[in-house]
Each structure stands twice: as C-alpha cells, then as structure tokens.
Amino acid sequence: MSVRIAYLGQAMRLSLLLAAAVEAGADEAPRPAARPPARVYTNADLDRVHPFAAETGVSSVPAVTPGDAPPAESPEAPRRGRGEDYWRSEATRVRERLRALEERAAQLRARISERAKESEVFGRRRASSGSTSVTSLRASLAAVERRAQKTQDDLEERARRDGALPGWLR
C-alpha cells in the first residue's frame, strides 16, 4: 500500500466526520437576533440641538475675506525667465546648427551607400586613396545623429526650465 493511498483514506474519513459534525451543529445553532430598528430624526430633534450649533463652527467668521486676497497674476504680467524674443532667436540658432548636422549626416549616408555598392574583386573591396571603412563611417554617422538629438533635447530642457511656452520654439 503506497503512502498516497493511506493519506487518501484518512482524508476521506476526516471529511465524513466533519460533515457529520456540521449537520449535528446546524440543528442546534441559535438564530442571530434581529436588528433594532433604525433611528429616525425629526424636526424636534433638530430644535433640541439648535442651541449647540455654534459649537460646530456654523457661526464662525473666516480669518481672510475675499477682498483681502492678493490679486491674481494678470496675463500681461511678465513671466519669469527670459522672454519670447530670446527663445524664438535661440530656437532659430539651434535649427541652423541642426541643419548643418543633418547635412553632415546626409553626406555620411551617401558615402556609406557608395562603399556598399563598390564591387568586390576576388573577395576584396577596391582600395581607394584616403578611404575609410564602412564601419568607421557608420560610427561617425551615429555620433552626428546623437549630437543632433542632444542639441535638440538640450534646447527643449532649457526652455522648459525657464518657463518658455512650447510655441516659442517652433
């Protein structure tokens, strides 16, 4: 007889004993008591507690009246940081820098495509004077693209911290 069968038999006996105990206890269990009826409040109750209304803060006076509040900033009020003219000129300057980087990236892409098209002669590429490998050109292209992205992100972060509106950078 395996251990599993022994445990299975004991589990069956235990479940039968528990079922019998539950049936026997179910007949003897007292029913829960009925809930008391909910309290209904009337106007008489409100009249009774009315003299204590001031204790809850109903008749308290606010410390600051609406007339004492400082005036809200008007739309014509100067913004913190540099103004719109500065950020528009800064965006133009960065766009010119990005345009130069994109031109450099386009040149590198053209050189990479030229290198890829060169025919192979007996398993070797034709060597040209002053040429660089395709892998170094791709590394240069990746560096130029990273520099362009960093320049754009730097402008946006500086403008955000200074409180410039996004439309000023477009």
**Mean pLDDT to the nearest integer, 82-94:** 91
**Mean pLDDT to the nearest integer, 106-116:** 89
Task: Please report which confidence band the pLDDT of residue 120 belongs to, taking 50, 70 and 90 as the band edges.
Answer: low
What is the number of other CB atoms lying within 10 angstroms of the CB of residue 29?
7
Give the separation between CA 94 and CA 9, rounded to whole angstroms.
Answer: 82
- 102 has a pLDDT exceeding 90: yes
- Per-residue pLDDT of 18-75, as tens digits, reads 877 777 665 565 677 888 888 898 999 888 888 888 787 777 777 777 776 666 665 5
Domain boundaries, the chain: 84-118+132-165
- 83 has a pLDDT exceeding 70: yes
Q: Which residues of 32-67 are buried (b: 16+ CB within 10 A; e: fewer)?
A: eeeeeeeeeeeeeeeeeeeeeeeeeeeeeeeeeeee
Higher pLDDT, 103 or 50: 103
Per-chain mean pLDDT for the chain: 80
Q: At what angle do helices 134-162 and 84-117 cross, to 10 degrees?
A: 170
pLDDT at position 97: 95
* Helix or strand run (H / E) with residue 84: helix 84-117
Give the separation between CA 40 and CA 144, rounded to whole angstroms.
Answer: 79
Give the separation between CA 141 and CA 64, rounded to whole angstroms.
Answer: 63
Give the separation between CA 13 and CA 15, rounded to whole angstroms.
Answer: 6
- Cβ distance 81 to 163 under 8 Å? yes
